[in-house]
A and B are shown apart, each in its own frame.
Chain A
Amino acid sequence: MNPIVLEGMTVRYGDRLALDNVSLAVPEGSVYALLGRNGSGKSSLVRCLLGGQKPEAGRVLILDRDAWTERASALAQVGVVPEEPDAPPTMNARQLSRFCSRLYPAWDAAGMEARLKRFGISATTPFGQLSKGQKGQVSLALALAPAPRLLVLDDPTLGLDAVARKAVFGELIGELADRGITVFITTHDLAGIEPIADRVGVLRAGRLVLDEEMEALKGRFRRVSFPRAQAAGVSRLEALAPLAVAARGWEVEAVVSNYDEESFTASRLGKAEDPEVTALTLEEIFIALTGEVEEGNR
Chain B
Amino acid sequence: MPPTLRIDPRDARPIWRQIEENVQHLVARGALLAGAPVPSVRDLARELQVNPATVSKAYQRLTDAGVLSVRRGEGTFVADTPPAFSDSRRSGRLQEEAVRYASLAVTLGASREEALATFEAAWRSLTNGQPDSEGEEA
Contacts and interface: CB of A to CB of B under 8 A. Distances in A.
Q: Which of A173, A178, A278 has the most CB of B within 10 A?
A: A173
Interface stretch (A97-105, A192-200, A290-298): A192-200
Interface residues of B, number: 18
A177 B54 contact: no
Nearest to A277: B12
B50 A195 contact: yes
Nearest to B42: A177
Contacts of A224: none
Contact of B41 (A177, A195, A278, A280): A177
B12 A278 contact: yes
Contacts of B51: 31, 173, 176, 195-198
Give the most central of A178, A222, A279: most B CB within 10 Å. Answer: A279
A282 interface: yes
B112 to A, nearest CB: 22
B9 A194 contact: yes
Contacts of A163: none
Interface in B3-30: 7, 9-12, 14-15
A197 B54 CA distance: 10
B124 interface: no
How big is chain A's contact interface, by range?
Answer: 20 to 34
Contacts of A198: 51, 53
A195 B10 contact: no
A196 B53 CA distance: 9
A178 B49 contact: no
A195 B9 contact: yes
User: Most chain-B CB neighbours within 10 Å: which of A177, A196, A280?
Assistant: A177
Interface of B: 7, 9-12, 14-15, 41-42, 45-46, 48-54
